[in-house]
Every structure is written in structure tokens, then in C-alpha cells.
Structure 1
Amino acid sequence: MTGDWEAANGRFLAASLEWLRERLRHPGEEVPVEAVESAEAIDPPPALTVLAARLGLSRFERDTLLLCAAVELDPSVAGLCAEVHGNPHMAYPTFGLALRVLPDPAWEAVSPQGGLRYWQLIEGVSGQGVVSAPLRATERAVNYLKGLNSLDDRLTPLVTPLAPAELSASQRRVAEEVASQWALAGPVQLTGADEAAKRQVTAYAAEISGLAAYRLQASALPAQPAELGQLARIWQRESALLPLALYLEGDGTDAGRFLDRIGGPAVLAVREGGPGLRSFEVSPPTPAERALAWGEVLGTDQAAIDALSAQFALDLPGIAAVAAVAGADPEKVWQECRIRTRPRVDGLAQRLEPAAGWDDLVLPEQARWLLGEIADQVGQRTTVHETWGFGGRNLGLSVLFTGPSGTGKTMAAEVLADRLALDLYRIDLSTVVSKYIGETEKHLRKLFDAAEGAILFFDEAESLFGKRGEVRDAHDRYATIEVDYLLQRMEAHRGLAILATNMRSTLDTAFLRRLRFVVEFPFPGPAERKIMWQKAFPARAPCEGLDFDRLAQLQTSGAMIRNIALNAAFLAAAAGSSIVQDTVLAAARTEFRKLELPVPERDFRR
């Protein structure tokens, strides 16, 4: 409020208090109101007039509130109340006193549904009797009459304000539709995985509606109906006085009941919409909108702009924050985007730091070619999906790595992550799958929502992707639902999702058709094993007389070779010698026994 309005509001209060004192001095007599009416003729109107209009108070209720507040504003009023009561110990207002001295008395004002009690503007009605109980105006009401309009203290610990942020054009359109719906029918649902975007859309809708937006988590709502009703009533009052818009985060019965009670400008923010409320889906800025924002940062570097806009689903404030830290250097910008979008997956996934490069892969030519194709498709998403119009539901790139244990599936995922400069997360599907119906989908939803844009490597895929036979019971039916849900999320994932399995034969061919690539990782032959042995020992390692042709005859996988080489190095270091053939063979013998594999001695003799 401006200083001029504050002064005018003060003059109105002074005139109103003088009028009230005269009513108390001369009960039942008419007191001129011209001074009050003259002081009330300001723009905007005085606080008492606004409060009465917004909360629907009658003239008698308005004057009763003034009477209760007057004791706080003018100490002499308490003595005048005692005189009217005829009892020096009753220096306070009551409903009985108001009915006696104020014009247009109405018994309806005494009821719990009357505006004063319903909106909790007064306190004090107790077991003494409604009419004779001492009354006082609440601190919130007194402050409002004085021109101090701040949120009720009972709401402050539960809510946080939402600050408007820059939105993309598509997000602004959603916000404008939300504001229009508020004006027509009240609360709406905002759906989607991007919580920040939903909050920003709500804040913008509130701003263009002239409202202050606050966030309340549904988990903070009281469970008891009486307490929930009281909180709803306080929110309705505050929404009228400030006014407010609510962003209610989460769903559930209490959330629905609360929205039913408060009505008005409110948003229910959920992952997936349900019946009852008009729904609007909120998404991050489109790749085209992100490209425009990145263009302001990177200028004419179109390749970097396309790659960043396709890979990282940042909002416009996020892009501005990255630019503030990394400037216009594409490499620094890319790394900062990786850090800012790094997911928090709460134990559902493990981030792997790539320890291998393209030259470390020892695979058949077909497998290497397919891996190159996968990397190229990740890099060309903007051209194909956006420029050429192939976008749609299937924005993700889903692939299957299949082959015996230790043949390089995890290493290949690391190589792709290194080549694409993306984060890699390993998920053991056996830990995600739950015996409880619906829990598996909940875990997968949380994972995909958090890891948008990262490379997801699902190990032990056979734990979920078994062959579908005849559906015999509810467990079989829900297992199929879980698989379909995973494939659906992989297809919509804006990134690379890799399934890995040691047992391709257990997978249903109907599922395989929904994957873009299948890469075979065969058990290595002697030629591949020789190359692996040569790569297993760093150039600085003190090797002497190693017979790689002889070592290649051992039936070992790539993972076994890496373990054997490392153990041989420790054996040599402990003995204070170089890494020699006998040391490597001793380490190999230990590895075979660890895996309970046969150890034909002729293969381990020099």
C-alpha cells in the first residue's frame, strides 16, 4: 500500500472509532455517520470496507469486528464497554453488547456460520455463553484493518512462496489456460514429471491473475477432518484477503477433500492425472525452444546448439544459469549441463565412470558397427526427430546387449558414455522388481523421471523379460504389465536405454521387436583373446616373456582376463619381480577355481 492510502486508511479508522465511542456513550441513540462516510470515500477503499466485501460480512458484522478491534486500537473503548455493561469487571465487548449498541443488529451474526466466527476473525466464544462471552479480534484481523496484510501465522510453516520465472512460449500458453480456468471453474490438475516446470507455470498463472502463489505439500495436510476443515477455512480467508493461488503438490484423499473445500484458484500437481479436475500437461521447453535459448548463448555454433537442445531438458532459467557459469564455451556448457541434470535416484541406480575407450573394445566387426550406429543415432536426434519430423511418442533409443557374462556388455556401455560425453547409470533390474503389485512401476517411474537424458544400463534383464506363456494367474498378468511399462518408458526416454542379459533365449520375441538394436557379445575366440591379453597389461607394467599366443588358448572371457592380469600384477609386486608367464598362469588357475571352472593342468603348463 502507498503512503497516501495508509494515511487515508488511518483517517477512516479514526473517524470510525469516534463514531463507535459515541455509540457506546449513548446506547440506542442515532450517531451521525457523515464523517465516517466521507473518510471511507477513498480509492482503493479502506481495509475494513475491503475485508467486509471480500468475506461477505453484513453491516452489523462489520461494526462488531470494529468494536472488537477497537479495544486493541483505543484503550478507552474497554472502559466504555464496562460502563454499558454496568460492571467495571466487564471491560470487553460481547455479542450482547454489540446487539445493544450497534445499528441493524442481527442474531445470525452470533451463529458459527456467521462471517465473524466462520472466518475466524474474532476469538473468545466459550462455555460462558455465546452472547455474554468476552470477544476480541484476532491479531490477523487487527493488522489487516491497520493496513498490514501478511499471511496468517498458522499457514506460514506449511507453505512456501512460488517466485515467477521465465517460461517458454509453450509453457506460457499452458499458464494462460490455467488462469482462464481459474476464472471460470476453479482448481485444475497439472500433470507431468517436471515438478519445477509445474511450479513455474503456476507462479506465472498467478502473476497474470494478480495473485500470490504458495506451494503446499499434500503430505502436510492434517488427517483429521475437523483440522482439515479449519485449515481450508483459513486458506479461503487468506485467499480472499491477499489474494492467493495454491499449488498443492501430491495427491490422495486428503488433497481431494481440501481442494473441494477451498475451490478458487488452485493447482493439484500430480505425475499422472485422474478424474474430477480439468488437466493440463506441463512439459519442459521443446527442443526448438531450447535451441532458441542456446542460440543466445552460443551464437552460430549450430552443432552444439542442436546437441544441447536434444540432450538436456533444461528450462529457460536453467539454461541461463548454465551460461552464467560456463559462458559460451560449448565443452564447458556441456559439462555444466551434465552436472545440473545429474539425477538423484536414491539407490535405484549406480553411476559408472567410464574406464574404457573405443580402442579398448575387442568385438566382432558387426558388433562394433552396431555400437557406432547407436552412437550416431543419439547424436542425430534433432535432425531426424525435429527437422525431418520423425518425432512422436518413440523418442527414445532402446537396445539390447546380449551374451555370456564377462564378454564386454558393461564395457561397451561405458565406451558409449565416454564417446557421447554422457552420464551412465547401471540399474540391476532384479533389485527394482518387487513382488508387490504396482511397486515395480513406481520404482521405474521414479528412475526414468530422475534420469532424463542419461544413459540407463539395465543389467539382469532376464529377471523381468521372461518368455510370456499362457497367463495363468494374477502374478503373470502383472508381470506382463511391468514389462510393457518398462518398454513404454524406454521408448519415451529422451536418451539411450540399454538392456543387458546373459540369456537371450529367455526373452520373448514380441519384446525384441520393440527394441531398436540387438548387439551380440559372443564368447571371444583365440584371436580376440590374444588382443585382450595384450591390452590387459599397461605399457608401464614390468612384463617379461609373456606368451600371448599361449595365454589366448585359455578359455577366458574379457572380464576374466582383466581379473587375471590384475591379480598377476599383485603377485609379482609382492614377490618383488616382473610379471612373467608363470605368475600369470598362477593367477589364471586361481580365477578358474573361483568360478568353479575345470582346470586342465595341460593348459596351465608352460
Structure 2
Amino acid sequence: MSHLREGADGVLESIVALRARVAALVDARSAGDPTAGDPLRGLYVTEETARRIASEPLPGTVSGAFEPSPSAGGREGEDAHGGGRLAVLSRAFGLSALDRHILVAALAPDVDRGFEALYGYLNDDVGRRRATVALALDLAGTGPFDAPARDRFHPAAPLRAGGLLDVEDEDRPLPGRALRVPERVVAHLLGDDSRLDAELQGVGVELLPPVESAGAELLLPVESAGAESPSPVESSGDGAVPAFSELGARVASAGPVTVHLRERVPGAAADAVVTALRGAGRPVLRYRPESADAVAGRALVREARLRGAAVVVEPLPSRPGPLVRALASRGATVVLAGTDAPDPRWAPEAELLALDAPDDAVGPGDLWYRELGDLERNFDLDEATAPYRLSGDQVRRAARSARALAAFEGAGLTLAQVQRSARLVSAPLLDSHARRIRPAVGFADLVLPEEPLGLLHELTARARHRDRVLGEWRLRTGGGRGRGVVALFAGESGTGKTLGAEVVAGELGLDLYVVDLSSVVDKYVGETEKNLERIFAEVDRTDCVLLFDEADAVFGKRSEVKSSHDRYANLESAYLLQRLEAFAGIAVLTTNLRANIDEAFTRRLDLVVEFPFPDPEQRVSLWNSCLAGTPKAEGLAEEIARCAKEFELAGGAIRSAAVTAGYLAAARGSSVTGEDVRAGARREYRKAGRLVPDAAAPWAP
């Protein structure tokens, strides 16, 4: 056991030293306490003991005497009970002189334990060691008989509404109820702002200190809330559009104001306003509610008022009413950001300043350079990040992830690292209605004529540069049209339409989501449109390529109304026409027969790419591409050329035939031969119901 004793020597020495300090403290207190030998000491407080405690100086001060107490009729704004933080807090929360006295009387036991005994004596109950309502008012020179004095304890009065005072013991009459000051308020008045309130820990609240410059140049047009609604209120002035940095400065200097900021891309505009507020010298409490029930409104507003901070909430929970009511009109600057329009019913008594942030105001390119510009790379960062519509916070998270990947792999920053990190933070929630495909092919895997191949390159260029063309150059027309890119891929089955969509997604560094029509189309009226709206809404605010395979099922031609079924089918098509106008994502429609697509849809398409049936030369390239990784027998190239000439197969069928040839060769344990290729081609012919070439041919069975 000697080794245990040796390891515990430090702890034992500390305990011995503590015992000595305890003994010294006992001696010091008993020396001046005439009741030290009383066997009932601690069960009651005598008058002599109360006088002795009251005459002792407060530890760390020269004298413990109070300054004169304010009268019950003290005027608003009078300075009493000290300056410094108490005076600043009084102005921030609108406290009267009586409020300040009540606050000091309530927090005294939290600062000086001697007040516990004093209050026990004055309450005539040694177990009640906090100030009561009656005691606090008695110390102020008034009492619970004074109606204006009693009103200072109303839940809507400044002390309680601001979260500075808790009135306990609800079952007691008001004069006998105990008063408690929250520990966060006590810590603030004592000069400690190092931590957030305990109620704000682990609920999604982040404190962001002020910075020197905002660096936000985004435009924020003001949206009128409409004359019919008394709240939100309309913005006054001549309709000038302030920059986000200017808006942040205005909000920071305007005093308590509640702003609802409607944004298309979640978090994008909120990030810019946070940066602007911090640049204007204002700390920001950013709150990201983790659920609709996670309402920390009272503590959040109190923390903001104590620190002189602004509150930015993004995103709003699904039921924002309780949170908005807790935050609005509470004496703090609050910015509520979300994708939905503000509802006056959230806070009927509050005035919400409604602002609208358009999607073309979001440009996080500078953030990418700020986060990754110093890393060694061999690609164009602007071009690599152009397809992603990420908010500032998402860009920072993606950049940190890319940096970590580069450091882990011990090399310079690569395009794949940036794209992978960006995909992780912008992954859509489409899995219930669509099947995700992680692209693993590129343009080198496509075998197409020059014209459709050029159109696919144009499609990727449109997706990369739409912010510049439609936003900066203002080539987007009105009518509520979105900034989406929509293309139609038409061609026979197996000609490479789905592969082309995968190549486009891979070139852009995005995931491909194939819509599962079985989960979208519903026999009940209106349900199909609801399912489609969920998909479109999610794609609008995330980064991916959406593929409607066999689009004829939902984008078919409208017909003459001869029955109720025709009417509802036309309503579905009309909805899709309107939704495509406002679409902001990237979508590809595929069809085997272009004539089946309604002409009204065609007008709204950016590109129509025809995938032709491959000619013999292209079929040879397809065979070689499919069999590129297999061991090949001698003379296989000549047999492939003959099969490509005799068997008219599309790219999908050629791939299936090549897979069959591979299995045949693997079963024998040898290389792929011409017989294997011919067997695969014949099988695809039979699957399609076509006649196999004449048996007299050397490649026939």
C-alpha cells in the first residue's frame, strides 16, 4: 500500500492545510460571537446577534453601511444604490428607484451571507433567509399597503418581465412571498460576463463578439407587409434599398426593434446581418432552435439586454408563435430569419418590421477565398464553388472540413475535397421521395455525337454561371421566375439519358437524385401536387441535380376536358407549369418520346438534348468502354467490331451484354472472348423480342 500512500501525499497535504484554515476561521468567528457557547446556536437569531452582524463591514469593503434608501415615490431615472453596472442595468431595463432598491435587497444574501441571518431575524423565521415582498418594501420606507409599490411585483412590471427577479412561494400571500435574483443577474452585477446564462447552455445559443468591420455588401429590398395587416408594419421612407452593412448599423443604433427577415436560402441573409451587426460594434446572440419546444425566450432576451447584444434567430421553429411572443417587444433588438412569410398572429401586440432578402443577394464567394485562399491548389476556386448556394455559416463549415481533409491527406487542396465538403453541408432531405446517386462518371465515359455533347457542357456552364447572368447582369425577366436550370433529355431507351444526368451532376460536384414516381403520383386528388411541392421546395434551397426519369408520367400533354379525370389531370399539369417558372434548382427531365411532353413545358426548358441511337462506330466505342477493365482474349477487337455492325444495340443494352460476357468469362476463369461478347449480344436481342441473326453466320449458335 506504500505506493498508494505516495501517490496520495499531495491530496492529504491539501486536506491538512484546509483543516488548519477551518480551525483558524472557527477561532476568528467564535472570538467575536457572544453566542458561540449557546447550545441552541443556529436555531434562532437574537437581537444582539442581529445588531452585531449588521454592524460588521462587508468583506472586501471599508464600511458595510447602505446608502439612503429611495422612497416609494422615487422618480424614474433617479440614481440610487450605486452607479456602474447597476446604473447601466437600470437604464437598460427601465427600472425605477424603488425597483433598484428591491433588486439590491433581494440579491444581498447572494453577495453577503450575513444577510441570511439578518433577514431570518427580520422575517421572524430563521428558516426564511431571503427578503420577502413586505421586508423589501419596509426597507424602502413603504409597505404592501401601497398599491404603486405592490405593482412593482406584477409579472408585467420591469423587474419580473425583464427576468431580473423571481417571486417564489406562490401559495403564500404576496407580502410573505420570498424574492430571488437569478444567478446570471447577480454575476453580471458583480462584473462577470464570461459565460452565458445556464438556461442557454445546450439549446443552440452562440455568443458572437463584435468585430471591426462587417464586410457585407448584400442588398436587402424592403417588402411592404400590405395595408390589410396592422402588423407587421410597413417600412417608411422612399423605398431606398440599404446594404446589409448599413442595415446592421441602423438596427444596432435604433434601439429595441423586432425585424422579420424572409430569406430564400436558409441562413444566407441571416449570416450577412449577423456580420453587419458585429461590424457595427454590437455583440450578437445567435439562436438556432433545436426543436419547436426549445423556447429560451425569457433568458435569451435578458442575456441580450445585460450585454447590450442583438438576438438573431434562424431558422424559426415549425411553431414560432411562443418564441416570437417571448422575444418581441421585450426591450431587445431581435432579428427573426426564416423562409416563411411573417404571420401577424405570432405576436399580435408586437410590431414586426418585415424585410425580404432575395436569393440574388447571396454571394459567398469572398468567404471561400477568405477561408481557403491561402492553401495550395491547382483548380479555379470560383468555378468549383459556383454550383453551391451555401450560406455563410455553411461555407465556413465546408471550408473547415476541406482544410481538415487536406491536412489529413498531407497534400494541397483538391477539387474533390472542396466538392465533398460542400455536399456534406448542403445534403437535401429528399430520400423519402427520391433515390440518391453519388456520381462516379465523367464526360470521358460518354459516347455521344458532338452536338449533344456540347449541349451537356452548356448545361453545366449554365448551372455554374447563373448567378452572374441572371443576378449581376439582370437577364432574368419578371413574373416571379426563379433561377433554375431545367433541361429535357429525349431519346430511345438505353441511349444514355440517365448517364448524361449523372455526368452533369458529377461535373458540378453535386449529388443526383432520381425522383421515385411511385412515391409521388397518388390516386387522390391534390396529393400528387403536394408530393411534388415538397420535392421542389427542398431542391430550391439545397444543392443537387434532380432527375425526373420517364417524365411523361407527370409532364404529359393536357387534353380536352371530357370528364372529371381530365379536369384534375390538367390541374396537375397547370401546377407543374407554374412551379417550373419559380424553380430555383437544377432539374433534368427524361423521356423516350419527346412528342409526349406538353409544348408549354418545352417553352420553359433551358435546353433540349436529343440522345440519338448510336451508329456502328459509336457502338464500337461503347463496347470498348464497357469492357475497358476486363481481361481480353486475342482477337477480341475484331469480334467487337463485327458485333457492333451486326447487332444494333443502344448503350444500355451494350452495357448489359458486356456484363453477361464478363460473367461467362469469370465462370470459366479465363479472359473475355468473342464468343462471350456474341452470347451477350444475342441475349439482349432476345430480351427485346428481336430476331437473332441467321444461324449460318459464324457468330450464331
Q: Structure 1-normalised TM-score?
A: 0.76
1:241 aligns with 2:314: no
Question: Following superposition of structure 1 onto structure 2, how do residues 468-547 of structure 1 map, counting pairs within 5 Å?
Answer: 468-469=558-559, 472=564, 473=567, 476-486=570-580, 488-489=582-583, 492-493=584-585, 497-525=587-615, 528-538=618-628, 540-544=631-635, 546=639
1:140 aligns with 2:184: yes
| Structure 1 match to 2:436 | 350
Distance 1:474 1:455 in 2: 29
Q: Specify which of 66, 69, 74 is matched with residue 107 of structure 2.
A: 69
Distance 1:310 1:279 in 2: 27
Distance 1:336 1:577 in 2: 39
Equivalent pair of 2:216/2:275 in contact (CA under 8 Å): no
Q: Specify which of 100, 116, 141 is matched with residue 138 of structure 2.
A: 100
The letter for the 2-side match of 1:270 is G
| Structure 1 match to 2:51 | none
Q: Specify which of 303, 307, 313 is matched with residue 383 of structure 2.
A: 307
1:450 aligns with 2:542: yes
Distance 1:153 1:95 in 2: 26
Measured after TM superposition, the shift of residue 535 of structure 1 is 4.6
Deviating more after overlay: 309-318 vs 264-273: 309-318
Give the SS at the match of 1:425.
Answer: strand
Give the SS at the match of 1:127.
Answer: coil
Equivalent pair of 1:17/1:70 in contact (CA under 8 Å): no
Q: CA distance change for structure 1 residues 39 and 94 in 2, over 3 Å: closer, same or farther?
A: closer
| Structure 1 match to 2:250 | 180
1:402 aligns with 2:490: yes
Q: CA distance change for structure 1 residues 163 and 504 in 2, over 3 Å: closer, same or farther?
A: farther
Equivalent pair of 2:134/2:175 in contact (CA under 8 Å): yes
Measured after TM superposition, the shift of residue 170 of structure 1 is 2.0
Distance 2:172 2:247 in 1: 51
Question: Following superposition of structure 1 onto structure 2, how do residues 386-397 of structure 1 map, counting pairs within 5 Å?
Answer: 390=475, 395-397=483-485
| Structure 2 match to 1:3 | none
Distance 2:640 2:417 in 1: 46
| Structure 1 match to 2:700 | 605
| Structure 1 match to 2:336 | 268
Q: CA distance change for structure 1 residues 110 and 16 in 2, over 3 Å: closer, same or farther?
A: farther
Give the SS at the match of 1:189.
Answer: strand
Q: Specify which of 511, 517, 523 is matched with residue 430 of structure 1.
A: 517
1:549 aligns with 2:642: yes
Equivalent pair of 1:533/1:552 in contact (CA under 8 Å): no
Measured after TM superposition, the shift of residue 109 of structure 1 is 2.9
Give the SS at the match of 1:195.
Answer: coil
1:582 aligns with 2:675: yes
Give the SS at the match of 2:335.
Answer: strand
Equivalent pair of 1:294/1:319 in contact (CA under 8 Å): no
Gaps of 5+ in 2: 1-56, 73-77, 144-148, 220-241, 345-351
The letter for the 1-side match of 2:497 is K
Measured after TM superposition, the shift of residue 216 of structure 1 is 3.4
Question: Following superposition of structure 1 onto structure 2, how do residues 89-238 of structure 1 map, counting pairs within 5 Å?
Answer: 91-105=129-143, 106-118=149-161, 119=163, 121-149=165-193, 150-161=195-206, 163=208, 167-170=215-218, 173-181=243-251, 183=254, 186-207=257-278, 208=280, 210-217=282-289, 219-221=291-293, 231-238=296-303
Equivalent pair of 1:432/1:444 in contact (CA under 8 Å): no
Measured after TM superposition, the shift of residue 131 of structure 1 is 0.9
Q: CA distance change for structure 1 residues 591 and 109 in 2, over 3 Å: closer, same or farther?
A: same
Deviating more after overlay: 139-148 vs 162-171: 162-171
Equivalent pair of 2:657/2:677 in contact (CA under 8 Å): yes
Distance 1:537 1:127 in 2: 84
* Percent identity between the two aligned chains: 25
The letter for the 2-side match of 1:217 is P
The letter for the 1-side match of 2:288 is L
Q: CA distance change for structure 1 residues 378 and 268 in 2, over 3 Å: closer, same or farther?
A: closer
Measured after TM superposition, the shift of residue 405 of structure 1 is 1.6
Q: Specify which of 404, 422, 430 is matched with residue 341 of structure 1.
A: 422
Give the SS at the match of 2:605.
Answer: coil
Q: CA distance change for structure 1 residues 193 and 537 in 2, over 3 Å: closer, same or farther?
A: same
Q: RMSD of the alignment, in Å?
A: 4.6
Q: Specify which of 665, 668, 673 is matched with residue 572 of structure 1.
A: 665
Distance 1:547 1:29 in 2: 104
Give the SS at the match of 1:499.
Answer: strand
Equivalent pair of 1:55/1:237 in contact (CA under 8 Å): no
The letter for the 1-side match of 2:611 is F
Distance 1:363 1:551 in 2: 16
Measured after TM superposition, the shift of residue 404 of structure 1 is 1.9
The letter for the 2-side match of 1:465 is F
Give the SS at the match of 2:537.
Answer: helix
Distance 1:29 1:542 in 2: 106
Measured after TM superposition, the shift of residue 478 of structure 1 is 4.6
- 1:263-290 alpha-carbon deviations (Å, 9 max, x no partner): 2422222124345541231658766964
Distance 1:82 1:534 in 2: 94
The letter for the 1-side match of 2:173 is G
Distance 2:269 2:362 in 1: 15
Distance 2:455 2:605 in 1: 13
Give the SS at the match of 2:202.
Answer: coil
Q: CA distance change for structure 1 residues 190 and 389 in 2, over 3 Å: closer, same or farther?
A: closer
| Structure 1 match to 2:15 | none
Distance 1:308 1:72 in 2: 58
Distance 1:233 1:378 in 2: 45
- 1:275-333 alpha-carbon deviations (Å, 9 max, x no partner): 5541231658766964995899499x999476357445565858986996879xxx956
Deviating more after overlay: 281-290 vs 49-58: 281-290
Q: Structure 2-normalised TM-score?
A: 0.67
- 1:500-531 alpha-carbon deviations (Å, 9 max, x no partner): 22232321011111213222223345564455
- 1:102-143 alpha-carbon deviations (Å, 9 max, x no partner): 225423234444444443513423323221234443323332
Equivalent pair of 1:417/1:424 in contact (CA under 8 Å): yes
Question: Following superposition of structure 1 onto structure 2, how do residues 353-364 of structure 1 map, counting pairs within 5 Å?
Answer: 353-355=439-441, 357-358=443-444, 361-364=446-449
The letter for the 2-side match of 1:549 is R
| Structure 1 match to 2:321 | 256
Measured after TM superposition, the shift of residue 550 of structure 1 is 4.7
Q: CA distance change for structure 1 residues 203 and 389 in 2, over 3 Å: closer, same or farther?
A: closer
Equivalent pair of 1:532/1:558 in contact (CA under 8 Å): yes
Give the SS at the match of 2:612.
Answer: coil
Measured after TM superposition, the shift of residue 587 of structure 1 is 2.9
Measured after TM superposition, the shift of residue 481 of structure 1 is 1.9
| Structure 2 match to 1:279 | 355
Q: CA distance change for structure 1 residues 65 and 175 in 2, over 3 Å: closer, same or farther?
A: same
Measured after TM superposition, the shift of residue 19 of structure 1 is 2.0
Measured after TM superposition, the shift of residue 217 of structure 1 is 1.6
Give the SS at the match of 1:19.
Answer: coil
Distance 2:389 2:399 in 1: 13
Give the SS at the match of 2:95.
Answer: coil
- Relative contact order (alpha carbons < 8 A, sep ≥ 6): 1 or 2 greater? 1
Equivalent pair of 1:398/1:497 in contact (CA under 8 Å): yes
Measured after TM superposition, the shift of residue 16 of structure 1 is 9.4
- 1:377-402 alpha-carbon deviations (Å, 9 max, x no partner): 66776886688764666655432111
Equivalent pair of 2:282/2:310 in contact (CA under 8 Å): no
Distance 1:38 1:13 in 2: 21
| Structure 1 match to 2:66 | 19
| Structure 2 match to 1:7 | none
- 1:414-446 alpha-carbon deviations (Å, 9 max, x no partner): 55566x464451423526736435342222222
Distance 2:470 2:538 in 1: 26
Distance 2:167 2:472 in 1: 65
Equivalent pair of 2:284/2:312 in contact (CA under 8 Å): no
Q: CA distance change for structure 1 residues 332 and 103 in 2, over 3 Å: closer, same or farther?
A: same
Distance 1:390 1:337 in 2: 29
